[in-house]
Amino acid sequence: MSPHQVDEKLQGIYQDVLKRNPGEVEFHQAVAEVLESLGPVVTKHPEYLERKIIERICEPERQIIFRVPWQDDKGQVHINRGFRVEFNSALGPYKGGLRFHPSVYLGIIKFLGFEQIFKNSLTGMPIGGGKGGSDFDPKGRSDDEIMRFCQSFITELYRHLGEHTDVPAGDIGVGGREIGYMFGQYKRITNRWEAGVLTGKGLKWGGSLVRTEATGYGATFFINEALKVRKDSFDGKICTVSGSGNVAIYTIEKIHQLGGKCVACSDSNGVIFHEKGLDLDLIKQLKEVERRRIEDYASYHKDAKYIAGGNIWDIPCQVAMPSATQNEINGKDAKTLVKNGCIAVGEGANMPTTPEGVKVFLDAKIAYGPGKAANAGGVATSALEMQQNAQRDSWSFEDTEKKLENIMKGIHRLCHETAEEYGATGNYVLGANIAGFTKVADAMVAHGLV
């Protein structure tokens, strides 16, 4: 992203971030995207500049990098690298997922952690921002290998965690199985049943109903609100959802419940297109139960088409929900979507649209829900899980889903009203960045120089 889009008052801050964090391109992108919105904010609140609030927000409170040695089933020793970036605790304990994927390095964890600060702020829950993970690849590994890796990982990380300090959850490559192995090892080392230390737990041992569905449901609720503002709805809309993991599956489910029709989803190998609407039960069976590739869908539905290495954004739709990974929609993809009649984009993934793509969506004035607002349902429900753990309580699915829906409506309203207040009605990027930032900034001012 070219720095000239950042207000001149913030230009020096951005240059410092580039200098202090060389090579961390995703982190640079996330910082620039927030700073671009903050020009009018620092004009209105000069105290943020005087107290160096932005510089302090861009520098994590703590960055932990460690070695993770483990043995595979053949007795071979492997060494991975583990990370936890505890970014900002102005609003509460650090909260954010753990990602296990070969692409993980410090820059990705910092970008995710930085986004998490503002996302968590928008939920209205008392949680700070953090993120972690490892360059370990769980694909093709046995349950025993994953258990040994998770135990080694948490044996180092546990000393930095705690329900009042830092509460990780899952992300790409970390689901209920991995959380279970990490929780078991944490309990064993600390000799404490501290349910609130990890979220995304199994329902029988401290987990929350709706947690699995939360990110996908939440993103769909957000876009539903954005469509309502435009006197529209999901009813009868053709939708495409990238990915076929947890976020994608429950985005598809909620879209179907709200009357939309999803015709395509994907995985890292290719795209499945089923014009009459995706068979969600089959996707759940293939992905959640059998852990197979999405191309196998076509062998059950002869009228579905599998496009190996295809681009899901080439398929015409009215609503697009990127739910796979960062930077999956570039400027060209965004133009294709708009040209093909797309009226709304809801980001279930973190920063799935490049800066060029974001500009295309904003210029076209479509309903564009950026990740830090649209996908905040996952972490919001993690915070609801923490509440239940603190109360030694367990809520019903309906009750928890209603709370999630109300949180997402609140996030939409906050982003919408903030954008309006700053003269950019309908610009949820600006609204989310400013609303998320000011709450954290005010807390930091109140806490003094720490």
pLDDT in tens, 172-228: 899 999 999 999 999 999 999 999 999 999 999 999 999 999 999 999 999 999 999
Q: Retrieve residue 73's tokens.
A: 């089933």
Residue ranges of the annotated binding site for substrate are 95, 116, 119, 170, 382
Contacts of 263 (CB under 8 A, 6+ apart): 238, 239, 240, 273, 274, 275, 276, 277, 278, 315, 317
For strands 270-273 and 238-241, give the pairing: unpaired
Alpha-helix runs per DSSP H in 233-306: 246-257, 280-284
- Strand 305-308 to strand 319-321: parallel, antiparallel, or no bridges (unpaired)? unpaired
Kindly report the backbone phi and psi dihedral angles of residue 270, in degrees, each rounded to the nearest multiple of 5, phi listed first. Answer: 175, -170
Taking residues 229-249, report their average pLDDT. 97
CA distance 236 to 290: 31
Classified as helix, coil or strand, 287 is helix
Amino acid at position 141, single letter: R
Which residues are designated catalytic?
A: 131
Which helix (H) or strand (E) is 190 found in, with range?
helix 176-190
* Percentage with pLDDT > 70 across the chain: 99
The share of the chain scoring above pLDDT 90, in percent, equals 96
Tokens matching residue 295: 């191309």
8 A C-beta contact, residue 441 and residue 377: no
Q: Please list, residue by residue across 22-40, b when 16 or more beta carbons sit within 10 angstroms of its beta carbon and e when fewer do.
A: eebebbbbbbbbbbbbbbe
- The per-residue pLDDT for range 48-77, each reduced to its tens digit, is 999 999 999 999 999 999 999 999 999 999
> CA–CA separation, 397 vs 17, rounded Å?
43
Length of the chain in residues, anyone? 450
Q: Do domains 60-193 and 214-374 have the same CATH topology?
A: yes
Say what the pLDDT of residue 5 is.
80
pLDDT tens digits, one per residue of 438-449: 999 999 999 999
Which residues contribute to the annotated binding site? 95, 116, 119, 170, 215, 246, 382
φ/ψ of 119, rounded to 5, equals -60, -45
Residue 44 has pLDDT above 60, yes or no: yes
Residue 77: exposure state from Cβ atoms within 10 A (0-12, 13-18, ≥19):
exposed
Q: Which residues pair with 132 in a beta bridge?
A: 84, 98
Would you state the CATH architecture of domain 214-374?
3-Layer(aba) Sandwich (3.40)
**Residues placed in the known binding site for NAD(+):** 215, 246
Place of tokens 């989310």: 432
Q: Give the per-residue pLDDT at 124.
A: 95
Tally Cβ neighbours within 10 Å of residue 157.
23
pTM: 0.92
CA distances from 56 to 114, 195, 231 (A): 12, 31, 41
User: Do the Cβ atoms of 150 and 79 come closer than 8 Å?
Assistant: no
Q: How far is CA 395 from the centre of its chain?
A: 24
What's the rounded mean pLDDT across residues 400-413?
97
- pLDDT at residue 3, rounded to an integer: 40
Name the average pLDDT for the chain: 96
Name the CATH superfamily for 60-193.
Answer: Leucine Dehydrogenase, chain A, domain 1 (3.40.50.10860)
| pLDDT tens column, 297-351 | 999 999 999 999 999 999 999 999 999 988 999 999 999 999 999 999 999 999 8
The maximal CA–CA distance of the chain, rounded, in angstroms, is: 64
Q: Please state the rounded mean pLDDT for residues 87-102.
A: 98
Q: pLDDT at position 6, please?
A: 87
Give the per-residue pLDDT at 326.
Answer: 87
Domain boundaries, the chain: 3-57, 60-193, 214-374
Per DSSP, 204 falls in state: G
- If you average pLDDT over residues 256-267, what whole number do you get? 98
Q: How far apart are the first and last CA of the chain?
A: 31
